[in-house]
Copies of this chain bind each other. A is one copy, B any other.
Amino acid sequence: MSEVPTRGFPDWEYEGRTVAAQTMLAERRLDALLVCTEPEVRYFTGFHTPFWQSPTRPWFVVVPAEGRPIAVIPGIGSASMGETWIQDIRTWPAPRPDNDGVTLLATTLHEVAGTEGRIGVPMGHETHLRMPLADWEELQEATIDVAYHDATDVVRSLRMHKSDLEVSKTAYVCNIVSDAFEGIPDLLSVGMTEREAFAAFRIDLLRRGADDVPYLVGATGPGFDDVIKQPSDRVIGEGDLLMFDTGTVFDGYFSDFDRYYAFGSAGDAARRAHETVWDATEAGLAVLRPGITTSDLWAAMADVLDAGGSLGNDVGRLGHGLGMQVTEWPSNTHDDETVIAEGMILTLEPGLTWAPGCMMLHEENVVVRADGPELLSRRAPRELPVIT
């Protein structure tokens, strides 16, 4: 077992992120960046709490042209935010539906951007505005002299490139999950329900040192095509397949990979499908290096799936970025064309339909190094494991 990474990040990590954002803001003639979603707020401040699950209160962080970010947040967050590197923390007594931070935010934006300022806000793919739409409209009216511009590329390009400290957290949780997947033959058996199997696996991951298992989906049966499914009371039988796909977390960083198992015995078609998706991953690993694109990576895997007789799949891509969220930019698709760079954490996730209603999805997690991929998940066996 690898050493437990230090929790959190030193201030210089946040400073580096902030300065990098400010360089990009300057290039785009933007006076500030406004973010309001959990990963973006955490990325710039270190503010980390599951409290975001409460939809009641909006939270804002403003990255000015220079200096540390400014937090414009509900009072309930002031103690937690006070523990981060942020110095300028402005709070209002939320919830206050008739003015839930709008005036305070407008004042802050005017302060950092002046009138006729230009503010960047993520508006593009994989982003959303975590505040009531009516409040967004009110904010625009309260800052009618300010222009809002899409700044998706700023947060996208920053978050896609992971620091060594970020990588160490994902590597650590991937190691825990790899151990847990290797322990599945001792943990699960014919006669358990899906629900019992999920609970046993979730508890096992926690016992091994994961902070939480926010994402766990899976299925059992002779074959299945629902790959985002929650457990049922179905009893695992002889000859069944089992798929588990988990996004497990350490210190706010996710793993995201799956494994398949057969109970008792495995049919030829399922075994061939397992080998084909494994081979597709191997083809992806072989071409993956800085300078190729996500579409090159997609093509290398898609060729193997096609040659293996894939009937297609509904997932829409063959892997994606990974880090503070279970899926992040970029996407491995035929037309994504993101240039892959050192320090990106990616999943390779080729999937195929091997019979109607029967999907086989395989996933590994890697960090891109100068000379190619370094596996963070422990490579699956090519042969479908059979639990006897």
Contacts and interface: CB of A to CB of B under 8 A. Distances in A.
A67 interface: no
B50 A216 contact: yes
A19 interface: no
Contacts of A326: 53-54
Interface in A79-123: 79-80, 83, 91, 93-97, 100, 121, 123
Interface string A116-133: 000001011111111111
A133 B125 contact: no
Given A217-B50, A225-B79, A130 B128 contact: yes
A281 interface: no
Nearest to A125: B97
B95 A333 contact: yes
A23 interface: no
A207 B199 CA distance: 8
A74 interface: yes
A230 B51 CA distance: 10
Given A133-B127, A226-B83, A56 B327 contact: yes
Nearest to A228: B51
Interface string A310-330: 000011110010000111100
B48 A230 contact: yes
A316 B228 contact: no
Copies in the complex: 2
A76 interface: yes
Contacts of A350: none
B199 A206 contact: yes
A281 to B, nearest CB: 19
A91 B76 CA distance: 40
A331 B56 contact: yes
A239 B55 CA distance: 35
A134 interface: yes
Interface in A47-80: 48-51, 53-57, 74-80
A128 B124 contact: no
**Which residue among A121, A202, A226 has the maximum number of chain B CB atoms within 10 Å of its CB?**
A226
A214 B217 contact: no
Given A56-B327, A206-B202, A331-B95, A76 B228 contact: yes
B128 A133 contact: yes
A37 B53 CA distance: 12
B316 A94 contact: yes
A229 interface: yes
A212 to B, nearest CB: 8
Contact of A78 (B75, B125, B314): B314
Contacts of A121: 133
A182 interface: no
Nearest to A148: B133
A215 interface: yes
B133 A53 contact: no
A71 B233 CA distance: 26
A199 B328 CA distance: 27
Interface of A: 7, 37, 48-51, 53-57, 74-80, 83, 91, 93-97, 100, 121, 123-134, 136, 150, 152, 199, 202-203, 206-207, 212-217, 224-230, 232-233, 247, 314-317, 320, 325-328, 331, 333
18 contacts: A7-B233, A48-B230, A49-B230, A50-B228, A53-B214, A55-B328, A56-B126, A76-B316, A79-B224, A91-B314, A94-B316, A123-B133, A123-B134, A124-B132, A128-B128, A128-B133, A132-B152, A212-B213
Given A56-B125, A121-B133, A203-B206, 7 more contacts: A7-B233, A49-B230, A55-B327, A80-B228, A80-B229, A83-B226, A124-B134
